[in-house]
Amino acid sequence: MPKYLQYLKQTDPQIYAIIKEERDRQHSMLGMIASENFASTTVLATVGSCLTNKYAEGLPGKRYYGGCENVDDVETLAIERCKQLFGCEHANVQPHSGTQANMAVYFSQLKPGETVLAMDLAHGGHLSHGFKLNFSGSLYNFVHYGVKRDTETIDYDQLNALAKEHKPKLIVCGASAYPRQIDFARIAEIAHSHNALTLADIAHVAGLVCTGLHPDPVIVCDFVTSTTHKTLRGPRAGTIMSKKQFAKAVNSSVFPGMQGGPLCHVIAAKAVAFGEALRPEFKQYAQQIIDNCKTLADALLSKGFRLCTGGTDNHMVLVDLRSYNEKLTGNDAENWLHQAGIVVNKNLIPFDPRKANETSGVRIGTPILTTRGMKQDQMVQVADWIDQALSSNGDPKTLAAIKAQVSELCNQFPALGYLQAAE
């Protein structure tokens, strides 16, 4: 057990007990939520460092507090590594999350009420891309494009037509539940032809983009935002990349526009994660995420599941449960799989007749399993368990039997030292 957990055990046994439960849960279940990953021990140690004690409003060399010499070095390194990793002209590494990264870009360019074009949440977009109950949807006039009914892939012609009709100031691309590659260059070209700016939110695919395994928006889009904790495997946080001409606007939009003091410990952990992603072996890891997902997709198809778009190019599959069992909801599937030790999330599928709290789909991702060292053979096994669990109609005995096998597999693939079975 790492020393800091031993210390926690003595000083706050209640919180320690909960963390231990969560550590055991993460160890003994198959985490397949597409937006989650296991950060490295180095990232975790950095987040738990004394950098959390420091206030540092401002930017390196231009702070509103004394004593910032070390956090200046940390943030400078994070910026340099981010620029190197993504090849961007400017980086601001202070946003606390992906939504705040998007907020900062909006604040830097848009006045309330201005028009933005983005992907529909119900077709795979994100809350911060203009959902009506999100700040984005209430502050700005969002218009949404979606996917085509037949292929379930982005309808670039519709996007173009909507841009022509609504003349948005900004076009947002990127998605949270889209299993195919996004043609950022095509969207940027459409945006330029209608005098709109472009923002690519690569939160989900950042680890694939920086390794060249997904089309790169950095050259073609004005702004690129991301979280750092999904395929990128860093701490929970956000980052912004932009063209140099927008550097000042982005920086002042983050601080003082939207945030106060940056989280120096998290910025340091972002620097660590960018450094890890710059290593050659990260590309092999990212490729394995994709290879695992393709194998999972094929295995699920062979069990009779329909996958939205027919398959995957990235780290996730979106399963349409209706063809497997018309009555099966995403909610039931999520619950039954959880009882079987497999953690996924219910998800709307495009043109879903059900509501968001029920859904006809589940989203399944491979980053965590890949981080644990699992490969194609394990994906075939997992697809078999998913089939067994969902065809059992929630039979408790079947689910418990699968859970026991899942636990055995997890013991063969301990994530990282800190997640090994509890003492």
For binding to ligand DSN (CB under 6 A), which residues are involved?
35, 98, 126, 176
- As measured in angstroms, the least distance from the Cβ of 176 to ligand DSN is 4
Query: Which is closer to ligand DSN, CB of 37 or CB of 309?
Result: 37
Query: Which is closer to ligand DSN, CB of 122 or CB of 301?
Result: 122
Dihedral sign from CA coordinates of 113, 117, 118, 119: positive
Structure tokens at 240: 């912004």
Please indicate whether residue 230 is annotated as part of the active site. Answer: yes
Active-site pick, 198, 227, 228, 366: 227
- As measured in angstroms, the least distance from the Cβ of 69 to ligand DSN is 35
Cα 183 from Cα 192, distance rounded (Å):
15
The DSSP letter of residue 111 is: -
CA distances for 133 relative to 98, 130, 136, angstroms: 17, 8, 8
- As measured in angstroms, the least distance from the Cβ of 381 to ligand DSN is 25
- As measured in angstroms, the least distance from the Cβ of 98 to ligand DSN is 6
Active-site pick, 54, 169, 230, 233: 230
Cα 396 from Cα 121, distance rounded (Å):
34
For 62, counting Cβ atoms within 10 Å of its Cβ (0-12 exposed, 13-18 middle, 19+ buried), the class is exposed
Active-site pick, 148, 236, 322, 354: 236
The DSSP letter of residue 171 is: E
On whether the CB atoms of residues 32 and 342 are closer than 8 A, the answer is: yes
Query: Which is closer to ligand DSN, CB of 1 or CB of 127?
Result: 127
Please indicate whether residue 375 is annotated as part of the active site. Answer: no
Query: Which is closer to ligand DSN, CB of 34 or CB of 170?
Result: 34
Query: Number of helices (H) and strands (E), helices first, in the chain?
Result: 16, 15
Cα 49 from Cα 402, distance rounded (Å):
39
Query: Which is closer to ligand DSN, CB of 176 or CB of 251?
Result: 176
Query: Which is closer to ligand DSN, CB of 58 or CB of 207?
Result: 207
Active-site pick, 152, 201, 276, 313: 201
Q: Which residue is nearest to ligand DSN (CB)?
A: 35
3-state secondary structure of 318: strand
Q: Which residues contact 196 (CB under 8 A, 6 or more apart)?
A: 117, 163, 167, 168, 169, 170, 171
CA distances for 157 relative to 160, 161, 163, 333, angstroms: 5, 6, 10, 34
Please indicate whether residue 201 is annotated as part of the active site. Answer: yes
Closest CA relative to residue 243, chosen from 278, 195, 199: 199
Active-site pick, 9, 55, 384, 395: 55
On whether the CB atoms of residues 267 and 235 are closer than 8 A, the answer is: no
Please indicate whether residue 236 is annotated as part of the active site. Answer: yes
Q: Which residues are catalytic?
A: 55, 57, 201, 227, 230, 236
